A and B are shown apart, each in its own frame.
Chain A
Amino acid sequence: ETGVTQSPTHLIKTRGQQVTLRCSSQSGHNTVSWYQQALGQGPQFIFQYYREEENGRGNFPPRFSGLQFPNYSSELNVNALELDDSALYLCASSVGTGSYEQYFGPGTRLTVT
């Protein structure tokens, strides 16, 4: 059974640029959630994708957007990067939406300079 994978591992971008992060869900999972973890904090929910549609969203601006593909993999896109976007971005997958157990990937560490 393949776990949740994310790419790239690390990324450095300049303020104002755009970035795309990728996530492959664990086999048998159809739901992907994205979280942002700032240094010293717990992860914060960005949004969730189920059946290729955004299923719920946290308190993040529209410049954070995403996609889910028919194979359940997902992308997180961030436009007009700001310094405060520097964080660890975590992807989690689950067998469905709601109260199912979520399993996390290793994360992508984004640095905005």
Chain B
Amino acid sequence: GIQVEQSPPDLILQEGANSTLRCNFSDSVNNLQWFHQNPWGQLINLFYIPSGTKQNGRLSATTVATERYSSLYISSSQTTDSGVYFCAAISGYALNFGKGTSLLVTP
């Protein structure tokens, strides 16, 4: 299956700061998704972005399939943005997840 690497593993921000999370994958993909996992374990869909750039409020994501990476940009971070962010790429039937970036936004 596809190997997915996420960086950084941990990130601490002060409220209002911007950040970029990175996801590298080992092979070409047909599907790439970004998720936010809340403290209760629920995976919230952020983006479905096999290629190109999408924006949703303070969040935006870019996937460059030819260079095998995707990035998630969070602007003007809020304490509610805290949690673990996962990217995942489809290989066959399965979503292959990275190990996540744990984000803590402090007041």
Contacts and interface: CB of A to CB of B under 8 A. Distances in A.
Interface of A: 33, 35, 37, 41-45, 48, 55-56, 58, 88, 90, 92, 97-107, 109
Contacts of A42: 4, 86, 88, 97-100
A102 to B, nearest CB: 6
Contacts of A103: 45
B48 interface: yes
Nearest to A43: B97
Contact of B50 (A35, A92, A99): A99
A106 B37 CA distance: 10
Interface string B51-77: 000000000000000000000000000
Contacts of B96: 45
Contact of A97 (B40, B45, B93): B93
Nearest to B35: A104
Contacts of B92: 56
A100 B50 CA distance: 10
Contacts of A102: 33, 95
5 contacts: A33-B94, A42-B86, A45-B96, A48-B94, A100-B31
Given A42-B98, A42-B99, 8 more contacts: A42-B4, A43-B86, A43-B97, A48-B93, A56-B94, A90-B41, A101-B45, A106-B41
